[in-house]
Amino acid sequence: MKHTYTFKDQFIMNSFLKTIIFSLLMLPFLAQAQGPFQDRLDKMEGKLEAQRAAYITNELELSSQESQAFWPIYNEWKAEEMKNRRKVDPETNTKSMTEAEADRFIQQMFEMQEKETEIRKTYFKKLRAAIPAQKLARLPAAERGFREQIVRQTASKIKQMRENRRN
């Protein structure tokens, strides 16, 4: 029997996955006590974004002209998504909510998801003007592939750190 996930399940799973990825990415930097923390965080974020750009550019087989048109729109889209997601705090303690608070929280999640769909449609139209539809259709799989690659790399780094600590 196949289990179908509810919106809340998907929201929690996505939030959990993002928290895990961010936490795993932070471990190597927390383990090293060199330089100011914010500088290292900024450097890590820049490196991650450069890896994302290289991965997606390669997966979509973007030409240099397509890349020049694609990346400003893509980055604007992701910034707009983040702004929208910040409207709902996934860390909200749902166990202590009253029924009315839970209803409001659920409504906020639906509104956020609806707005995200509107944002996605808007930016896919803009991106479609920059690259062919065949390449744009591969974008969700490329994004998923990048996230999976980062999780694998991070898990490998953690394993290596643990092995180094034992030696």
Of 17 and 130, the structure prediction assigns the larger pLDDT to 130
Backbone angles phi, psi at 6, to 5 degrees: -80, 170
What average pLDDT does range 136-157 have in this prediction? 94
8 and 109 Cβ atoms separated by less than 8 Å: yes
Instruction: Parse the chain into domains and list their residue ranges.
Output: 22-62+148-167, 64-130
First to last CA, the chain: 46
The torsion angle over the Cα atoms of residues 87, 46, 18 and 4, rounded to 10 degrees, is 90
pLDDT top residue among 87 and 129: 129
- The reported pLDDT for the residue numbered 59 is 97
pLDDT band at 86 (very low <50, low <70, confident <90, very high): confident
